[in-house]
Amino acid sequence: MHNIRIGIIGVGNCASSLVQGINYYRHKDSEDAIGLMHWEIGGYKPCDIEVVSAFDIDKRKVGKDTAEAIFAEPNCTTVFYKDVRKIGIRVRMGKIMDGFSEHMRDYDDKYTFVLADEPEPDMGEVVRVLKESGTEILLNYLPVGSEEATRFYAECALEAGVAFVNNMPVFIASDPAWAKRFEEKNIPIIGDDIKAQLGATITHRTLTDLFKKRGVKLERTYQLNTGGNTDFLNMLNRIRLLSKKESKTEAVQSVAAKRLDDGAHEPGVAPFSGGFPQFRRYCH
């Protein structure tokens, strides 16, 4: 079997953890595979994933080998495998659109995005890169609120015949119209939004499901995420939070014994603190 060839949109903290993980598990076996739900799926292991294309809009990443770009500011995720080998895949300039929020200009460079002064690609250019690189699966790691940019890359995936994994809360896979378009072309699509390995939402869902199974009546629930990475800074623009709040609300509602009244579940994001994300959730 050949490697699974992936493309990355947004070389941020999530992409950094993914690429570090691919390299970290290359030197492990199933007995050492701490942190993975599954060591092997369909005969494929983590080391069988290969990055063949990448896009970003930050000048500290564009033009760099992906192995270097994942450690460039403003990324601040934990470095658990620093010896990521260079792969010869340079980060290309991406489409900005609403992937950048204007309020981000008001913060220190080490916390925010610094736009690269490079020509933005059109759809034809992105599709060409995806095809020529042999990308099979396109992973979307754009910032929360990037509605237009996400639709742009979803269109590129459709045009290039590439599977689309939407890791952020813009509703593509869960939108019947979008889902039908991918289905008609026999192209896989999954998403929308992903949960941290052991973050607030998955913990909240687990508690909600436990209440249902143990006969506890859940009347109201509240979740507060307190964080200090670039994604949380981006979400200080409350308009960008609409789809995120809906995603988190539905994640909890889907496991409740009875659907809560509107407003009975309220996910919140606390102000940017400048450190790593820490999660608290309250159920009462």
CATH of the domain at 233: 3.30.360.10
Q: Are residues 49 and 109 in the same domain?
A: yes
Residue 212 lies in domain: 200-283
- pLDDT of amino acid 231: 78
173 and 110 both lie in a single domain: yes
Domain boundary among 151, 168, 190: 190
One domain for residues 40 and 129: yes
Query: Hey, what amino acid is at 193?
Result: D
Check residue 34 and give its pLDDT: 86
- Going by their DSSP bridges, the two strands 265-269 and 221-226 should be labelled as parallel
Q: What is the pLDDT of residue 95?
A: 98
Same domain, 34 and 161: yes
Q: What is the pLDDT along the chain (284 residues), one digit of tens a residue?
A: 799 999 999 999 999 999 999 999 998 998 888 889 899 999 999 999 999 999 999 999 999 999 999 999 999 999 999 999 998 999 999 999 999 988 889 889 999 999 999 999 999 999 999 999 999 999 999 998 899 999 999 999 999 999 999 999 888 999 999 999 999 999 999 988 777 788 777 888 888 889 889 998 888 887 777 777 887 787 777 676 555 555 555 555 656 666 656 655 455 544 444 333 333 333 33
Identify whether 95 is part of a domain: yes
- How confident is the model at residue 279, as a pLDDT? 30
pLDDT for the residue 208: 86
User: Residue 203 corresponds to which amino acid?
Assistant: T
CATH number of the domain encompassing residue 23: 3.40.50.720
Burial 8-47, CB ≥16 within 10 A → b, else e:
bbbbbbbbbbbbbbbbbbeebeeeeeeeeeeeeeeeebbe
Residue 70, CA distances (Å) to 54, 91, 116, 213 in order: 11, 10, 16, 42
Residue 273 confidence (pLDDT): 41
Q: Do 161 and 126 sit in the same domain of this protein?
A: yes
Kindly state whether residues 145 and 212 are assigned to the same domain. Answer: no
Among residues 160, 190, 220, the one where a domain terminates is 190
Provide the domain count of the chain: 2
Is 180 part of any domain? yes
The pLDDT, as a whole number, for residue 264 is 52
Sign of CA dihedral 142, 145, 148, 151: positive
Task: Residue 109: name the closest of 143, 144, 74 by CA.
Answer: 74
Reported pTM: 0.82
Domain identity same for 83 and 55: yes
